[in-house]
Amino acid sequence: MKQHAARVAALLVACAVTGCAAAPPSSNTLSPPGEITLQAGAQAVLPGQATLRYLGVSNDSRCPPQVQCIQAGDADVGFQYEADGQRVDVTLNTARATTRAIGPWSLHLLRLAHGPAPAVTVRIDDQPGRVPP
- Partnered with residue 86 across adjacent β-strands are 83
CA 128 to each of CA 33, 63, 105, 125, 131: distance values in angstroms, whole numbers, following the listed order: 12, 33, 9, 8, 8
Residue 25, pLDDT above cutoff 70: no
Residue 120, pLDDT above cutoff 60: yes
Residue 12, pLDDT above cutoff 50: no
State the pLDDT at residue 106. Answer: 94
What domains does the chain contain, in order, with CATH numbers? 25-126 (2.60.98)
Which DSSP state fits 14?
A: H
- Chain mean pLDDT for the chain: 79
Of the two residues 103 and 3, the one the predictor is more confident about is 103
State the pLDDT at residue 68. Answer: 83
Q: Return d(Cα 133, Cα 128) in angstroms, integer.
A: 14
State the pLDDT at residue 80. Answer: 96
Residue 63, pLDDT above cutoff 70: yes
Q: Return d(Cα 104, Cα 72) in angstroms, integer.
A: 32
